[in-house]
């Protein structure tokens, strides 16, 4: 039975205060309506896209005071932000598994940063600075028809500023509580033919203050980034846009190797051995990428572009672990290969102080509840292992070095053609080829390659000024998975030129990535010490099934988009019903690695977004999402908030003073309430036409008393403060 929580009170209060004031809006004249790119790959005004699009523009990004992209995405209705630890954010649209974010395609200037090896987006390691972002376009809903698998739930396209918009030199430093120490430096130059920008940045903070037991929490982040962009207008109708980016990241990570035999007193030989080696398992990350975009305008109705990119990512983590010598037992290894659950239960059986069941009864009960059969072969191995394990309790541990290093490389080339066939008919078509390689002796016992070929198209037909029809689709052939086709159909009826009602039907897929489907996860043992001799092999081993199917979604959407020019108001409403089948929702740990296609989830609800330029000095923005869901997996039942949303008020005062006040709320994120008020005040001092000094103070205050996503994510104070100073010349 699903809990139906109530909307956060502060959110309802903000709505009641702000909505009545709409009647007093003054006429602002003609409103400039930007086009968006991330829906169908065609340039379209918001009223014509086949779905809902949230655009976070430069003004809103700056006013938010956010230091990271995940924090910016709190402004997107239906987007749920979770934290595994202070340096590891997870971004999910509508929810699903709280620790994994596998179902969003994320692009930076059209280049995918979705990691093919580990099936995720590593937000901390992105070689991207907030100061370089022009806008973020978020397509809310399945978009496999335009961007292929992994765009199952939506697309986040981060678009950086053009070099001509960032001429001169900019220096910025940010200092604040919780160890915030950021700096940013940028210099740009050139002219209308050649323009370029180089930016360097560093970001650091201390993460959460302590865990639920009051212990210091090692989850700080240190990151350095470099970005170079050069735009060359080769001819009046031809351009070449080239970028180079790199980042290096260090993230604290606690010792998280789970010993096979537990030691509750904390002072066992194993515990003392672990402490003697100071086995903090920090993560070092490196990210390198280069990309180029060539555009050719044959005429105003025909454009061709070719985009290519190459990227290499590294996540390096090595540390020393200690455990009972029994982890090298042949019996344990054989039992674990038959049932990981049975192998774990032999260990937990020893920790039961008052056992009323035999070992066989104990294991059989757990395996039956999990749908497994306790076979005679398992029984024999389990009882032999129990006798062997008992003699090792309290013995001297074995210690050795392990690593979780992984390197991923990608090359991709894409061709796209946009052609207006007639005043009523427009066609976009293209294709791409992608090569992925992942290399890890731990996760894959070596290297694994994959190739993906995509063919896509979108047809736009306007038979009448009040009607617009769109049909699009993508065929994708994944060498490791197979082929799939994702269609989308959309109809728009225009009440007025910038007011449309839409109906959208879409099918989408998500391909299981290498980690889920093809893992060969085993730890290599090096520098072994302790009471073990001869060749050794660690018992733990996780093997991907190799035959996982694609996850599949069917989505139905009704919506409205309206732009009230004279009021400076834009409204978007999305009513949706989404069903995903064949989901892989199981945890993917080495001792519990059971990926399958057995789960499904259904979402239905409504999302509303309102952006109002109330006066020339005031901008008010409201978002709200209400979602009902029904999930078969308990892991997918924890991150979806029934009610969530945001309120923002931006005001320009005289004498170069700007302020912003923002509220974020969600009634349950991993079963925890989240409410926060953010405020920012900025003062700009202009010395000459091209020289200015800007000070900005950001204050964040949590209105709830909950941990953030997990029990251990706690701060000493609900208040967070940081100050920035920026010089432009």
Q: Are residues 241 and 363 in the same domain?
A: no
Whether 186 is in a domain gets the answer: yes
Cα first-last separation, the chain: 60
- How buried is 329 (Cβ within 10 angstroms: 0-12 exposed, 13-18 middle, 19+ buried)? buried
What number is the average pLDDT over the span 388-412?
Answer: 88
- Using the structure block, give the residue that is written with the tokens 């009471």: 531
pLDDT at 466 over 90: yes
Structural domain contains residue 650? yes
Query: At residue 173, does pLDDT exceed 90?
Result: yes
Average pLDDT over residues 334-359: 85
Indicate if 620 and 638 belong to the same structural domain: yes
126 has pLDDT over 80: yes
The answer to whether residue 527 is domain-embedded is no
Last residue of one domain, picked from the residues 371, 402, 433: 402
pLDDT digits (tens, 9 = 90+) for 472-485: 999 999 999 999 99
How far apart are the C-alpha atoms of 650 and 338, rounded to whole Å?
Answer: 60
The pLDDT of residue 353:
63
Beta strand pairing status for 154-160 and 104-108? parallel
CA distance 452 to 315: 23
In a domain, 717, yes or no: yes
Structure confidence at residue 266 (pLDDT) = 57
My answer on whether 294 and 337 are in the same domain is no
Identify whether the C-beta of residue 370 lies closer than 8 Å to the C-beta of residue 242: no
CA 160, distance to chain mean position in Å, is 18
- Encoding tokens for residue 6? 């109530």
The token pair that represents 620 in the structure block: 């008010």
What values do phi and psi take at 253, rounded to 5? Answer: -145, 130
Please report, rounded to a whole number, the percentage of residues in the chain having pLDDT higher than 90.
72
Residues 526/441, Cβ–Cβ less than 8 Å: no
- Would you list the DSSP string of 413-443? EEEEEEEEEETTEEEEEEEEEEEEEEEETTT
Same domain, 113 and 161: yes
Split into its structural domains, the chain has a count of 2
Asked whether the predicted pLDDT for residue 79 surpasses 60, the reply is yes
- Model confidence at 27, pLDDT cuts 50, 70, 90, reads very low
The whole-angstrom separation of Cα 127 and Cα 249 is 10
**What's the pLDDT at 611?**
97
* Planar angle of CA 617, 622, 625, nearest 5 degrees: 170
Q: Please give the residue that has the higher pLDDT: either 6 or 168.
A: 168
- In the DSSP assignment, the letter for residue 634 is G
Residue 275 CB partners (closer than 8 Å, separation 6+): none
Confidence of residue 15 (pLDDT cuts 50, 70, 90): very low
Helix, strand or coil for residue 384? helix
What would the mean pLDDT of 47-66 be, rounded to a whole number?
Answer: 96
Q: Are residues 130 and 242 in the same domain?
A: yes
Of the three residues 402, 437, 453, the one that is the final residue of a domain is 402
Residue closest to 712 by CA, chosen among 251, 91, 208 = 208
Tell whether 287 and 209 lie within a shared domain.
yes
- Residue pointed to by tokens 């502060």: 10
Least confident interval from 460-464, 524-528, 551-555? 524-528
CA dihedral 378, 383, 387, 388 (to 10 degrees): -10
The pLDDT of residue 350 is: 78
Q: Which domain holds residue 299?
A: 9-252+283-316+564-579+604-728
Q: How confident is the model at residue 10 (pLDDT cuts 50, 70, 90)?
A: very low
Q: Is 270 domain-assigned?
A: no
Structure confidence at residue 351 as a pLDDT band (50, 70, 90):
confident
Higher-confidence residue of 7 and 486: namely: 486
CA distance 350 to 271: 18
Do the domain assignments include residue 526?
no
307 and 358 housed in the same domain: no
pLDDT tens column, 236-290: 999 999 999 999 999 999 888 888 876 555 566 776 776 676 678 899 999 999 9
């Amino acid at each position: 039975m699903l809990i139906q929580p109530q909307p956060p009170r502060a959110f309802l209060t903000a709505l009641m205060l702000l909505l009545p004031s709409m009647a007093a809006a003054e006429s602002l004249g003609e409103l400039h309506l930007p086009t968006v790119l991330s829906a169908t790959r065609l340039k379209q005004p918001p009223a014509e896209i086949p779905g809902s699009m949230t655009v976070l523009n430069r003004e809103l990004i700056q006013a938010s005071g956010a230091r990271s992209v995940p924090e910016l995405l709190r402004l997107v209705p239906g987007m749920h932000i979770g934290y595994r630890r202070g340096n590891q954010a997870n971004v999910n649209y509508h929810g699903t598994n709280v620790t994994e974010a596998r179902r969003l395609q994320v692009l930076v200037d059209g280049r995918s940063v979705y990691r093919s090896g580990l099936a995720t987006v590593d937000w901390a390691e992105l070689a991207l600075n907030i100061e370089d972002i022009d806008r973020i376009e978020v397509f809310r809903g399945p978009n496999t028809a335009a961007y292929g698998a992994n765009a199952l739930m939506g697309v986040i396209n981060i678009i950086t500023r053009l070099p001509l918009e960032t001429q001169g030199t900019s220096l910025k430093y940010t200092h604040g509580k919780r160890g915030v120490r950021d700096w940013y430096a940028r210099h740009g130059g050139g002219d209308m033919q050649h323009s370029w920008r180089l930016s360097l940045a560093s970001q650091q903070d201390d993460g959460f203050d302590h865990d639920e037991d009051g212990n210091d929490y090692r989850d700080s982040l240190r990151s350095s980034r470099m970005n170079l962009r050069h735009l060359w207008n080769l001819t009046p109708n031809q351009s070449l846009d080239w970028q180079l980016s790199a980042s290096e990241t260090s993230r604290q990570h606690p010792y998280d190797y789970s010993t096979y035999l537990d030691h509750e007193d904390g002072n066992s030989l194993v515990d003392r051995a672990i402490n003697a080696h100071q086995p903090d398992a920090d993560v070092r990350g490196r990210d390198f990428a280069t990309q180029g975009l060539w555009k050719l305008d044959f005429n105003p109705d025909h454009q061709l572009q070719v985009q290519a990119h190459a990227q290499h990512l590294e996540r390096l983590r090595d540390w020393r672990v200690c455990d009972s010598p029994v982890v090298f037992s042949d019996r344990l290894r054989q039992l674990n290969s038959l049932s990981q659950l049975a192998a774990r239960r032999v260990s937990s059986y020893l920790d039961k102080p008052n056992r009323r069941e035999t070992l066989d009864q104990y294991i059989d009960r757990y395996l039956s509840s999990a749908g497994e059969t306790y076979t005679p072969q398992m029984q024999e191995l389990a009882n032999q292992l129990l006798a062997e394990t008992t003699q090792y309790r309290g013995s001297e541990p074995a210690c050795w070095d392990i690593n979780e290093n992984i390197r991923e490389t990608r090359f991709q080339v894409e061709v796209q053609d946009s052609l207006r066939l007639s005043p009523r008919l427009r066609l976009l078509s293209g294709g791409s080829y992608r090569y992925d390689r992942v290399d890890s002796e731990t996760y894959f016992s070596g290297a694994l390659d994959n190739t993906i070929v995509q063919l896509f198209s979108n047809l736009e037909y306007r038979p009448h000024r009040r009607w617009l029809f769109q049909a699009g689709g993508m065929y994708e052939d994944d060498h490791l998975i197979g082929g799939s086709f994702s269609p989308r159909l959309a109809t728009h009826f225009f009440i007025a030129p910038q007011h449309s009602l839409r109906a959208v039907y879409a099918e989408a897929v998500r391909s299981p990535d290498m980690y889920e489907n093809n893992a060969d996860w085993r730890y290599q043992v090096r520098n072994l010490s302790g009471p073990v001799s001869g060749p050794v092999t660690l018992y733990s081993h996780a093997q991907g099934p190799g035959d996982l199917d694609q996850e599949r979604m069917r989505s139905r959407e009704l919506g409205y988009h309206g732009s009230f020019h004279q009021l400076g108001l834009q409204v978007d409403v999305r009513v949706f019903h989404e069903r995903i089948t064949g989901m892989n929702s199981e945890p993917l740990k080495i001792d519990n690695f059971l990926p399958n296609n057995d789960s499904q989830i259904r979402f239905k609800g409504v999302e509303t977004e309102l952006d109002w330029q109330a006066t020339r000095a005031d901008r008010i923005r409201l978002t709200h999402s209400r979602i009902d869901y029904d999930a078969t997996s308990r892991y997918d039942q924890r991150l979806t908030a029934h009610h969530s949303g945001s309120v923002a008020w931006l005001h320009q005062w005289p004498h170069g003073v700007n302020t912003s006040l923002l509220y974020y709320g969600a009634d349950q994120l991993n079963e925890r309430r989240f409410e926060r008020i953010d405020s920012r005040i900025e003062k700009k001092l202009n010395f000459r036409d091209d020289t200015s000094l800007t000070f900005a103070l950001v204050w964040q205050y949590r209105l709830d008393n909950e941990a953030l996503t997990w029990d251990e994510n706690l701060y000493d104070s609900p208040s967070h403060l940081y100050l920035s100073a920026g010089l432009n010349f």
